[in-house]
Amino acid sequence: MQEIVKKKEIKGLLFDLDGVIVDTAKYHYLAWKKLADDMGIPFTTGNNERLKGVSRKRSLEIILEIGNLSLSEEEKEKNCEKKNALYLTYIKQLTEEEVLPGVRKFLTEARAKGYKIALGSASRNAVLILDRLGIKELFDEIIDGNAVSKAKPDPEVFIMGAKSLKVPYDNCIVFEDAAAGIEAAHNAGMFAVGIGSSENLPQADLLLPGLNNITIEEICKRLQEVRK
């Protein structure tokens, strides 16, 4: 990898949504919590960590595992719909102020410098969320949960993202807050910048607390240094 950072120019930036661009985890939690309460399943914010980067259906299955409950496929489907309806009541009230610190500036500057930018998210609500935040136009391409069939750590979402940007995989950096997303980036042969702590993201090539007060050049420089 170190040779790649040195020799190849970074041209494509792929962003996860939840936890990188906006903190929607708190709204996912509130919606799942209501469902869990209704089913008599104890569900905590600690448990919610396990749902980050995980698909809607798999999230429900994790909650059912916590409660030692099983449901038919049909009931699972109904519960996922119920959860999403509740989640949407929160998402529809999202405001532009909820974009995480520094994200709008980082994206705007990177675009102005000629980087190609794509979203790579498991969420099927991604377009609505970007719209609410007023940042949809900052993305050249949007690959979301409606476009992919395989969940992270499968690299599908990032491979589709790089292809749609017409940038080779090893010229891309992925920004992710979930371990499965870091793994997906590596599975695609891309660099992975972790947004979070080394405790949660030990495999990241570089760790950042967020995208505030940092430029893309600084990130490329640090990736080089880490890999020396």
Active-site annotation, residues: 16, 18
Residue 14 interacting with Mg ion (CB under 5 A): no
Toward Mg ion, which CB reaches closer, 16 or 183?
Answer: 16
Q: Which residues pair with 212 in a beta bridge?
A: none
Q: In the complex, what is the shortest distance from the CB of residue 132 to ligand G6P, in angstroms, rounded to a whole number?
A: 13
Task: Tell me if 178 contacts Mg ion by CB under 5 A.
Answer: yes
Interface mask (CB under 5 A) for Mg ion, residues 48-87, using x and -? -----x----------------------------------
Spatial separation of the C-alpha atoms in residues 175 and 24, rounded to whole Å: 16
The listed partner (Mg ion, ligand G6P, none) that binds 123, CB under 5 to 8 Å by sort, is ligand G6P
| Greatest CA separation for the chain | 56
The annotation status of 55 as a binding-site residue, yes or no, is yes
The verdict on 79 binding ligand G6P (CB under 6 A) reads no
Which residue in 141, 144, 156, 177 binds Mg ion (CB under 5 A)?
177
Q: Describe the strand order of the beta sheet including 116-120 as a list of residue ranges.
A: 141-143, 116-120, 12-15, 172-176, 191-195, 206-208
Q: How far is the CB of 227 from ligand G6P (least distance, A)?
A: 28
54 binds ligand G6P (CB under 6 A): yes
Partner touching 122 among ligand G6P, Mg ion, none, CB below 5 to 8 Å by kind: ligand G6P
Site for ligand G6P in 153-212 (CB under 6 A): none
Contact yes or no for 121/150 (Cβ under 8 A): no
Q: Least separation, in Å, of the C-beta of 145 and ligand G6P?
A: 5
Which of 5, 122, 130, 143 contacts ligand G6P by CB under 6 A?
Answer: 122
Name which of 18 and 183 has its Cβ closer to Mg ion: 18
In the complex, the residues that contact Mg ion under the rule CB under 5 A are 16, 18-19, 53, 177-178
List residues forming the annotated binding site for Mg(2+).
16, 18, 176-177
In the complex, the residues that contact ligand G6P under the rule CB under 6 A are 18, 28, 51-56, 59, 84, 122-125, 145
